Amino acid sequence: MWLLAWIAPLYFEPLPERRGQFGDMFGSINALFSGLALAGVVCALLVQSREIREQKRDQQITQATLQKQADALLLAARIQALTNFIERDEPQLIVNEKAFQELQKQSGRIHSSEQPQQARDVYNGNVKLVRTKNDTLRARLDKHRSRLEELYAQAEQLSDGA
Which H, E and C letters describe the chain, residue by residue?
Answer: CHHHHHHHHHHHCCCHHHHHHHHHCCHHHHHHHHHHHHHHHHHHHHHHHHHHHHHHHHHHHHHHHHHHHHHHHHHHHHHHHHHHHHHHHHHHHHHHHHHHHHHHHCHHHHCCCCCCHHHHHHHHHHHHHHHHHHHHHHHHHHHHHHHHHHHHHHHHHHHHHC
The predicted structure's pLDDT at residue 35:
93
Most confident of 37-51, 63-77, 99-113: 37-51
Residue-wise pLDDT for 6-45, tens only, equals 666 666 666 667 766 766 777 788 888 899 999 999 999 9
Does the reported pTM lie above 0.75?
no
Give the pLDDT band of residue 51 (cuts 50, 70, 90).
Answer: very high
The predicted structure's pLDDT at residue 49:
97
Residue 52: is its pLDDT beyond 90?
Answer: yes
